[in-house]
Structure 1
Amino acid sequence: MTALTLTNVNKSFGNVHVLRDINLEVEDGEFVVFVGPSGCGKSTLLRVIAGLEDVSSGEVSIGGEIVNTTPPSKRGIAMVFQSYALYPHLNVRNNMTLALKQEKQSKQVIDQRVAEATRMLNLEDYLDRYPSELSGGQRQRVAIGRAIVRHPKLFLFDEPLSNLDAALRMNTRLEIANLHQQLKTSMIYVTHDQSEAMTLADKIVVLRAGRVEQIGSPMELYNNPVNQFVAGFLGSPAMNFMPANLVSEGDARTLGVRPEDLFLSDQGQLKASVQHVEQLGGDTNVIAKVQDQQITARLFGQHEIKPGAELSFGIAEGKSFYFDKDGARLRG
């Protein structure tokens, strides 16, 4: 069953066209991530799905039912915000149960769902605490628990990890991935962090300026980007771009090579001057200049390379990407 279908969805604020002809299907149980730079429309699209913004044209269907005029509370969705949005005067238990009480659920159902959610999120010891007594990671888990107890058809996450430090982001990301495995419920997750997108998603939707650039699995987008924008957005360190005439002739304007596909070679086509070296233990990132273009090479293991060194890099066979003057991918 299809959990969500968007058909030719457009959204404008006055004369500003924010979303342009969005078409998307989210299958039952699928984890879909919206990713793109700030201002690309990903959070607006999530709010349109939730019913917090009206569509200007097109259709939003949840569970096979068109919900364009259905209020948010009746759409069968639960949303987790970046800001947690917890009630400061309510303890954890009451924050999690408030929506269920408003739905007039029985005490038995409420207790059962809270017990289930707190077990999944390891919140049993915090039910009587108030938000001010919790860490950022604990508050975010409460916000997720508040969504879980509603047993929604669709979970919506709006940059839920942005307020956490790096270690907590990784831990909470794992918790969300584990929750998805346990709940088997469709989830849509908005982020500007391509690492979150790559590690969480069954399917990634890359947005730019209100349009869908490409939809596919993380590895489909990583290995077969349709254009230079998608190629450069996914991957860390990012794909290197340089003039195509450094290595070939033809219609290509730009050559793209991922950092891990460069290797040291005395006969390498790319002559580089080292600017900086990042020793990461298991890997070494070499930042260098090829003519006037900065590139990054990701070398496996430890390498004693110093700034100012002159090196030659080869490109792994079959790992070159070529783009035309408009940024479109050229095959071959």
Structure 2
Amino acid sequence: MDTLTLNAVTKSFGSTDVIKGVDLTVKDGEFCVFVGPSGCGKSTLLRMIAGLEDVSSGDVTIAGKRVNDLAPAKREIAMVFQSYALYPHLTVRDNMGLALKQAGVAKPEVDAAIAKAAGMLSLEALLGRRPAELSGGQRQRVAIGRAIVRRPKLFLFDEPLSNLDAALRVATRIEIARLHRELGATMIYVTHDQVEAMTLADRIVVLRAGKVEQVGAPMELYNNPANTFVAGFIGSPQMNLLDAAALGLTSQTLGIRPEHLALSRSAGRLPGRVSHVEKLGGETLVYVVTETQGLLTVRLFGEHDYRVDEAVFLTPEESRAFHFGADGKRLY
């Protein structure tokens, strides 16, 4: 069964087209991530699914039912926001159970739902506190718990980790992945962070300027990007895009991942100088300025002792290269 279907969905604000004919199917139980740069339309698309933005044209279908004209509360969705959106005067327990209480659900059922969600999120000891007494990570867990108790057909996450520090982002990301496995729920997750997309998604939807550039599993996008935009956006550090003609090749642009660019002090196809070195322990990133290709990134596994301004040589591993035409589309 398909939980969500978007059919030729568009959104315009006056004369400005923001979403330009998106077609997408999200299957039951799937974790689907919308990713793309700021301004690509990913949050607008999520808000259209939620009913917080009107659809200019096309159809939004949830669990087989067209919902274009339904209010958000009638769509059987639950949304987790970047800002947490908790009521400051209510306890954790009351924040989590408010929607069920307003819907007239019996108190024993509400209490049972809260207890189950609190157990899944390790919130049992915090149920009597108010949001001001919680850390950022705890508040986000409460917001997720509030969504869980509603038992929606579709969970929508709008950049939920953006306000957390680096360590909490990783911990909460792992928690969301675990919850998806335990609940078996359908989730749509918006982020600008492609690392979040790669680590959470069953499928990623890459958006640019209101259009879908490519949809696929994380490693499918990494290993088979459809164009230079997807190739450059998916992967951290991002792919190097080289002028193929300067290397004596016939394709317009050559894409090479940082880990597939060999670095040597003695010989290679591209001479250059080290511009910057990032020593990360398990890996070393070396940034090299070349005359014909500009700044290129090399990923070396383990510890390496390269120095700024040191003369080096680079050689692309051509068997692992991507070839793109003048229009940016993948040739092979």
TM-score normalised over the length of structure 2:
0.97
Partner of 1:61: 61
- Structure 2: distance between partners of 1:38 and 1:291: 31
- Structure 1: distance between partners of 2:78 and 2:248: 52
TM-score normalised over the length of structure 1:
0.97
Q: Is residue 77–residue 155 contact of structure 1 (8 Å, CA) maintained in 2?
A: yes
Cα distance per residue 1:288-311 (max 9 Å; x no partner): 012151001001111121112221
Displacement of 1:55: 0.5
* Identical pairs, percent: 62
Secondary structure, counterpart of 2:109 in structure 1: helix
- Structure 2: distance between partners of 1:10 and 1:107: 42
- Structure 1: distance between partners of 2:273 and 2:16: 45
Partner of 1:297: 298
Partner of 2:88: 88
Residues 1-332 of structure 1: matches in 2 within 5 Å?
A: 1-250=1-250, 252-265=251-264, 266-291=266-291, 293-331=294-332
- Structure 1: distance between partners of 2:91 and 2:131: 7
The amino acid of 1:314's aligned partner reads T
Q: Name stretches of at least 5 consecutive residues in structure 2 with no aligned partner.
A: none
Q: Is residue 246–residue 270 contact of structure 1 (8 Å, CA) maintained in 2?
A: no
- Structure 1: distance between partners of 2:42 and 2:10: 13
- Structure 2: distance between partners of 1:258 and 1:150: 43
- Structure 2: distance between partners of 1:121 and 1:230: 34
- Structure 2: distance between partners of 1:29 and 1:272: 49
Secondary structure, counterpart of 2:83 in structure 1: coil
Displacement of 1:243: 1.0
Displacement of 1:317: 4.4
Displacement of 1:242: 1.9
- Structure 2: distance between partners of 1:245 and 1:286: 24
Q: Is residue 88–residue 131 contact of structure 1 (8 Å, CA) maintained in 2?
A: yes
Displacement of 1:80: 0.3
Cα distance per residue 1:66-119 (max 9 Å; x no partner): 111111111110000000000001010000111001111111211111011000
Q: Name stretches of at least 5 consecutive residues in structure 1 with no aligned partner.
A: none
Between Structure 1 and Structure 2, how many residues are aligned? 330
- Structure 1: distance between partners of 2:52 and 2:187: 17
Change (3 A) 1:317 1:254: closer
- Structure 2: distance between partners of 1:102 and 1:248: 69
Secondary structure, counterpart of 1:43 in structure 2: helix
